[in-house]
């Protein structure tokens, strides 16, 4: 799915829905599977607000012996998610983070990049989020190769113009990945440097 075409022409809600629908259509994750993952993530991130809205805590219900009650709750929740995916009901803005986290890893990162780009920001994971900076560096090297290829196609004639429109979305997406991984590694280095640096004392004149 080419997400760059959404920018400035589709709402944030539209971006979220598009990624989820693409995942359901192209992977083994079903709509019910996404609904279950979303419910779990919502109750991990904002349990009080979810409870106030009357959303069922499916994980909590699994420890009960009332199987019919769980079935009814899951069916109602899955139907709610279906209405969100179909655009019949507005997606609450406060579940945006949970929605992104419920996506598979590939679409989670691409969705975060797209949403951040709408504010002119770079989406970078917390330094050391996966516990392996070497992994982040490997992804950076791989993405740089992709960026060189995609940008080379755009800049083959030495300029960027309307003739490059078909190639621009893919080139932009690879550059976003490079920016994200580079920022993640830089933050990790800065954090370590800061932890071992002597505090700078300013002279009082």
> What is the pLDDT, as a whole number, of residue 84?
96
Instruction: Please tell me the pTM assigned to this model.
Output: 0.62
CA quadruple 126, 133, 187, 107: dihedral, nearest 10: -40
Residue spans of alpha helices (H) in the chain? 12-26, 31-45, 47-52, 58-61, 67-86, 96-101, 105-117, 133-154, 168-195
> What is the pLDDT, as a whole number, of residue 122?
56
- 116/184 Cα distance (integer angstroms): 15
Along the chain (205 residues), what's the average pLDDT of each consecutive run of 10 residues? Answer: 47 92 95 96 95 93 82 94 94 93 89 78 52 75 85 90 90 84 82 75 50
> What is the pLDDT, as a whole number, of residue 104?
93
Q: Is the distance from CB of 58 to CB of 74 less than 8 angstroms? A: yes
């Amino acid at each position: 799915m080419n997400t760059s075409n959404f920018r400035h022409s589709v709402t944030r809600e539209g971006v979220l829905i598009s990624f989820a629908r693409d995942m359901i259509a192209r992977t083994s994750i079903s709509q019910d599977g996404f609904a279950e993952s979303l419910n779990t993530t919502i109750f991990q991130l904002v349990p009080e607000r979810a409870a106030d809205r009357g959303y069922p805590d499916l994980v909590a219900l699994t420890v009960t012996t009332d199987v019919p009650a769980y079935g009814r709750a899951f069916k109602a929740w899955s139907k709610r998610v279906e209405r969100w995916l179909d655009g019949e009901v507005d997606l609450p803005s406060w579940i945006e983070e949970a929605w992104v986290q419920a996506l598979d890893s590939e679409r989670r990162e691409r969705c975060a990049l797209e949403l951040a780009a709408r504010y002119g920001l770079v989406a970078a994971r917390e330094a050391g989020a996966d516990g392996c900076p070497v992994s982040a560096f490997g992804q950076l090297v791989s993405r740089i190769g992709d960026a060189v290829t995609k940008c080379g196609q755009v800049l083959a004639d030495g300029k960027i113009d309307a003739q490059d429109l078909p190639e621009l979305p893919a080139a932009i997406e690879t550059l976003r990945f490079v920016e994200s991984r580079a920022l993640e590694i830089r933050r990790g280095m800065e954090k370590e440097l800061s932890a071992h640096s002597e505090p700078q004392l300013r002279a009082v004149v």
